[in-house]
Structure 1
Amino acid sequence: MQLDLTGKTALVTGSTGQLGRVIARTLASCGADLALHYINNETKALELKQEIEASGRQAVIVQGDITKQETAMQMRDQIQASLGVAGVDIVVANAVIQYEWTTVLEQSPEDYISQFESCVLQSVYLAKAFIPYMKEARGGRFIGINTECAMQNFETQSAYTAGKRGMDGLYRVLAKEVGEYQITVNQVAPGWTISDRDRNSEPGHDEGYTRTVPLKRRGEDQEIANAVAFLASDLSSFITGAYIPVNGGNVMPAI
């Protein structure tokens, strides 16, 4: 038994980011061809494209603001033309707008808008662009990157939490709307994850966080990508509407 995505095409938004690049590499290693979305870092996008092509998979880079519906439609058309496919089999909504966290009283209203746009509307636009093909194909995977923060509700998290909780509601409804077409809709919720930029950090700076984690460590970016690859594969064919924390048990959804 293995995660085999041979013959599948996957779109990863925010693929040049710390987590996005590992997700893209992992899906390619499972056999998928990749559409690599970026907003600003063209150099990293080209580097990732070359890396994936060197592994024997096809790749195309697509650029644009994921908070705009026209971007999603343009990406769809570009992917079809560049990769010669009728549509995308796997969508991973990973991109999110970054901003400075502060209290509700201090947080700019524009930050709440940006989080709604990048967490909720991004997925709405991706669904409108890519799910019609999945319906015709009677199958597909729609995966969103959420966060453990959506369950924690800690101080200064309000804009991020509001956006991700809105995303959670959207995904649960979408799962019910498209399930009859054998399209699954799921979310992966990382904790505070170790990525390339963290690997040279001072040891012990995360002790306050890991003290609360049952596994007593932070997760690795590869562990998040592994969960995404599982949800993208046929091994997850009867899982939909799920919010899956990948955080060592730091938050645990209850029944």
Structure 2
Amino acid sequence: MEDKVALVTGAGRGIGRAIALELASKDCAVALNYAHSAEAANEAAAEIIKSGGRAAAFKADVSNAAEVKEMFSAAAASLGSVNILVCNAGITKDALLMRMKEEEWDGVLATNLKSLFICAKEAVRPMLKGRWGRIIAISSVNALRGSAGQCNYAAAKAGMLGFVKSLAREVAAKGITVNAIAPGFIDTDMTASLSPELRAKFIEAIPAARIGTPQDVAKAAAFLASEDASYIQGQVIAVDGGITM
């Protein structure tokens, strides 16, 4: 994959960082997007460069079309035209209905769903020109408690998966695949903050009897980005230890 350029949103830490490092290990050049984690994203880029790869970090609010356009332009100038897009950026706002603010509801939909539309629209044009591309959407982590948080998450996730299937049908004949990954309970900064009792409760519900790692998701993303996955289209791969069974 040495001739490929990947852009990973939300790549400063957690799953996004793991995906960026995994793609770099496959010889992809990697553009690491971040919104707030500048230090972490630049450290990850430096790690890739130190290992002999090509990488650069780019700040952008992925729900803002102008910033996304500027990011893609800067990434292309630095690394080459993006032909692998991994939309990983996502947030949760977990609250009961009476406590959830309208801007919190809107923020989740903007970051988790609208960003996929904006980034994919920017990425597809050069992919069509090159008749090769990979778009991978990473479904954000579920809300943990609040009913409104659950509804908000479900709305964003349903919209994302519907978008993936619709776009996959649109571009399938052009050498572009569009798929999604639905992670289960993954060991990230957010889940690390849970109480030992709640973590144990989640593990008890997982057939694999363990919490997933960011690398588990990264391996699946690298596969979907490869030539080996060229006939996989419009699918959702659950990386969840079997919990959705």
**TM-score > 0.5, shorter chain as reference:** yes
Match of 1:232 in 2: 225
2:26 pairs with 21, 26, 30, which one?
A: 30
Match of 2:130 among 121, 126, 137: 137
* Number of residue pairs matched by the alignment: 244
User: Which residue in 2 is equivalent to 1:97?
Assistant: 91
**Aligned twin of 1:162:** 155
Structure 2 spans left out of the alignment, 5+ residues: none
Q: How far apart in 1 are the matches of 2:84 and 2:132?
A: 10
- What is the correspondence of 1:101-250 to structure 2 with a 5 Å cutoff? 101-147=94-140, 149=142, 155=147, 156-195=149-188, 205-250=198-243
- 8 Å contact 1:112–1:160 — kept in the other structure? no
Paired amino acid for 2:27: G
Identical columns (%)? 34
Q: Evaluate the alpha carbon distance shift between residue 147 and residue 38 of structure 1 in structure 2; reply closer, same or farther with a 3 A threshold.
A: closer
Aligned to 2:57, the other structure's residue is in SS state: strand
Task: In structure 2, give the amino acid aligned to 1:169.
Answer: G
- After TM superposition, the score normalised by the length of structure 1 is 0.88
Asked if the contact 1:116–1:166 (Cα under 8 Å) also holds between the matched residues in 2, the reply is no
Deviation at 1:62, TM superposition (A): 0.9
Is the CA contact 2:95–2:145 (under 8 Å) kept in the aligned structure 1? Answer: no
Q: Spell out, residue by residue over 1:109-145, the C-alpha distance to the aligned partner (whole angstroms, 9 max, x if none).
A: 2222112211221011111211111111111100011
Query: Partners in 2 of 1:14 and 1:147 — Cα distance?
Result: 11
SS of residue matched to 1:206: helix
| TM-score between the two structures when normalised by the length of structure 2 | 0.92
Question: Could you tell me which amino acid in structure 1 is paired with residue 68 of structure 2?
Answer: A
Pick closer, same or farther for the CA change 1:97–1:208 going to 2, 3 Å. closer
Q: Is the 8 A contact 2:91 2:140 kept in 1?
A: no
- Give the whole-Å Cα distance in 2 for the aligned partners of 1:45 and 1:147: 19
**Residues 5-84 of structure 1 correspond to what in structure 2 (within 5 A)?**
5-83=1-79
What's the offset of the Cα at 1:195?
3.4
Which AA in structure 2 matches 1:175?
A
Q: Contact 1:147–1:245 at 8 Å: present in 2 too?
A: no
Q: Give the direction of change, closer, same or farther, for the CA distance of 1:201–1:164 in structure 2 (3 Å limit).
A: closer
**Aligned-partner residue type, residue 11 of structure 1:** L
Give yes or no for contact 1:10–1:89 (8 Å, CA) kept in 2. yes
**Rounded Cα–Cα distance in structure 2 between residues aligned with 1:200 and 1:117:** 25
Q: Relative to 1, partners in 2 of residues 1:200 and 1:170: Cα closer, same or farther, differing over 3 Å?
A: closer
Moved more, 116-125 or 28-37: 116-125
